[in-house]
Amino acid sequence: MYSKILILNFPPREAQKPLVCQLTKKYDLLFNILLAKISNQKEGYMVLEITGEKANFKKGVNFLKDQDVRVSYPEQEIWKDEEKCTQCGSCTAVCPTEALHIKRPEMEVLFDKEKCSLCELCILTCPTRAMGLFSKTPEEVM
């Protein structure tokens, strides 16, 4: 099984079409919408995690590109500096994917990088700056 996070930018004429659903129907791919902002007659933006066979993944990405959807891969990742983290939980209140959550009863803030949508809200919220961005190498992006 192959899984990747993609950033999709839809042109206005394609933003209202069910293109992402076609990934499941035509290419046997599963998708998890991590972040989306799409409105009528405007460009749409979506961050997806797509899972499936690698050959089908490539076909699905090519399908999206054929529909004039700009496909890119995140070039950065979020990291958590355990030494700076005071376990205050501020980041958990803003995390839309629950990548940051509190382990109970220990009250420890845990970070699941696999669930992260790269929205960066945790970086803005963290009072001790324990959350940050780092750039991936070109090999990691692809």
pLDDT of residue 136: 60
Tokens of 113: 């990088």
How far apart CA 87 and CA 135 sit, in angstroms, is 25
**Same domain for 23 and 47?**
yes
Three-state SS for 9?
strand
Residue 138: is its pLDDT beyond 60? no
Collect all residues with Cβ–Cβ distance below 8 Å to 35 and sequence separation of at least 6. 45, 46, 47, 96, 117, 118, 119
| Domain termination site, one of 52, 72, 92 | 72
Number of Cβ atoms within 10 Å of the Cβ of 79: 15
Residue 137: is its pLDDT beyond 70? no
| Domain termination site, one of 23, 48, 72 | 72
pLDDT band of residue 66 (cuts 50, 70, 90) is very high
